[in-house]
Chains A and B, each alone.
Chain A
Amino acid sequence: MNRTLQIVGTMASLLTLAACLDPDEAGNLVPETVAEDPLLPAIEVNGTRLHSEAFGDIHNPIVVFLHGGPGSDYRALISQKGQPNASRYPDERTVTGVGLSQLQDEYYCVFYDQRGAGLSPRFDSNDIDVDLYVDDLDAVIDYYLHRKKEETGVLDDQVTLFAWSYGGVLATTYINAHPERVRDVAFYEPGPIDPAMWDYLADNMTSVFGQLDKDWLDEYLLSHDHITPDTHSRFDYQMTLGAGRAFPEFHEDPNTPFWRIGAVVSTMGLDYGPSVDFDITQNLDAFEGGVLVMAGALTVGELPGYIDLLRPHYPGFQYVEIADVGHTGPWEKADDVAAEIRRFLSR
């Protein structure tokens, strides 16, 4: 009798565990990417699938939007505060043409999630580097220029870039490598592109260790007793706890939407890191396009000297401050940011 009870008890325990959800299976805690979900819009470039969409008339000039992070995605760029956040499935969206995608009435707007970020596939850190990111962007530009030629017969060889936060680092790296490919670039609070900018941020921002009394950090740390970042899904899931809350000087709105934080790429130093000897600016002299730099007034209030550090690299850039907003201005004040981009590109 005792043995029967033991067997039944063991089987019941095993069945209970077997019936439990798997935290490592994409789709449970975090969404599947284009590698698993065929319903997501994607393009095949540079040997991988990337989550990508384009809006507007392809006869118009192409603007490629580069999201931040590294590891964020373009959801906030096609959503805007006060409107429903964009579903990952285009057919399920209740509003369109919002966020910076409102520029589709004048431009062919291209959005993609960078490799390892958002709804683009997950990669291990040793499979991603900055050169690959530059090659990916080049391939995305090629893809859409080729599509334009195929659909319209127009042979165009340049695009305009919009670059937000880390996207500004990627844009600068790309322009430095391929200055002839970029017509103009519009930045919104670009990440640091040289050691002086890194140092400025390090000297003027609150470190994580200075935030032990903050809810977000308490949540993040305590969650490590519950979930450890051994797999992509768990790592991505845990990383969301800091989104929009970890940098008080940025005055980010924590409701800014994402599909997925690509935790691996967000922690692997694609933004070069302050201690790395890097130079992504030595060839910027060859860039002949226009440069717009936008920044939220709240961020500028906290970091007043930061934007000026761009001047040695982009002399003569136009500068616009967006009122009453911080680092998440492209989502919070999408109309204002879009209006400035229109004004800049129609100059």
Chain B
Amino acid sequence: MQRLITMTLTMLALAGSAQAHTVTRTDETSNKAYLRTGVEPTTMLTVGVQRSFRLAPLDRDIMPYIEWGTSVVRPGWGNSELTVGATMVAVEYGRLKLVNRLFVTAGAVETINFDSKRFAVGDAIAAGFYDRIWFVAGTVEYEHNVINRIDHTDHYRTTFYEDAEDGWYRGAGGTVQFGIEGGVTLLERLDLHLEVKMPFTERFASYNGSPLHANFVTGYRF
């Protein structure tokens, strides 16, 4: 059982961004609660918590986290995302670090035409300069939808396609994002963090949504 837990956590960790900075000061604080606002993929408000601990077999700190985000325009479970993951410093040379984050997401969206629930996996890498109270990094993030449950509305059947199939769909796409991020820690415990990302589809085609994603994160260490 212990081996299974260790393997799972290792896999989660070998996959970093908004949570990345915290992982550099785990000797001072173990926990962090954060609030993220921004546009990704729409205007979202996300709350999350993370806790770091030592992963003895790897001799590294690992930082599992859980977060829930909802649309600001249409808040609620029907338009939200629940993400669970873990962040870990994979490689480091002094203050240069490669931080990896692996995550799984369950999300829902309600639209005039269909309701969708998705289950996705993703991985993000942040490579940058991590000082004690500030950091800057370049990021690459990939997320793939493994399976979607799609149910169509009466509106869609009446207005567009009466024979649309409700059911479980496989592989409804994924996104790749390239970005930059940076942050500072104020008053020893308050983290401020900004990230900007440019999204593409997983086939590196035009995303056709928001041309840029941007988030501002406020975190409190304890």
Given contacts A241-B111, A241-B113, contact A228 B158 (CB under 8 A): no
B112 adjacent to A216 (CB under 8 Å): yes
Q: Once the chains are docked, how many angstroms separate the CA of A92 from the CA of B169? A: 29
Q: Does A259 contact B (CB under 8 A)?
A: yes
Closest to A227 in B: B172
- Count of chain A residues with Cβ under 8 Å from any Cβ of B? 47
Select which of B147, B150, B207 is within 8 A of A224 by beta carbon.
B207
Q: Does B53 contact A (CB under 8 A)?
A: no
B41 adjacent to A22 (CB under 8 Å): no
- B127 CB to closest chain A CB (Å) equals 25
Q: Does A106 contact B (CB under 8 A)?
A: no
B73 adjacent to A226 (CB under 8 Å): no
Per the 8 Å Cβ criterion, residues 100-127 of B in contact with A are 107, 109-113, 116, 118, 120
Q: Once the chains are docked, how many angstroms separate the CA of A260 from the CA of B160? A: 6
Closest to B156 in A: A240
B175 adjacent to A228 (CB under 8 Å): yes
Binds A, one of B13-21, B179-187, B197-205: B197-205
Per the 8 Å Cβ criterion, residues 128-177 of B in contact with A are 145-148, 150, 155-156, 158-165, 167-175
Closest to A85 in B: B158
Q: Chain A at the B interface: mostly helix, strand, loop or mixed? A: loop
Q: Once the chains are docked, how many angstroms separate the CA of A266 from the CA of B52? A: 49
A29 adjacent to B41 (CB under 8 Å): no
B42 adjacent to A226 (CB under 8 Å): no
Q: Does A36 contact B (CB under 8 A)?
A: no
B168 adjacent to A218 (CB under 8 Å): no
- The digit string for A260-286, where 1 denotes a CB below 8 A from any CB of B, is 100000010000000000000000000
- A151 CB to closest chain B CB (Å) equals 33
- The digit string for A209-230, where 1 denotes a CB below 8 A from any CB of B, is 0001111111111111111111
A residues less than 8 Å from B160 (CB atoms) = 30, 240, 257-260
Closest to A19 in B: B168
Given contacts A229-B206, A241-B113, contact A222 B71 (CB under 8 A): yes
B residues sitting closer than 8 Å to A (CB atoms) are 39, 41-43, 71, 73-74, 79, 81, 107, 109-113, 116, 118, 120, 145-148, 150, 155-156, 158-165, 167-175, 199, 201-203, 205-210
25 A-B contacts (beta carbon < 8 Å): A21-B167, A22-B169, A23-B148, A23-B171, A29-B164, A29-B169, A30-B160, A30-B161, A212-B39, A212-B43, A214-B73, A215-B73, A218-B42, A218-B74, A222-B42, A222-B79, A222-B109, A224-B41, A224-B199, A225-B118, A225-B120, A225-B175, A234-B172, A235-B208, A241-B111
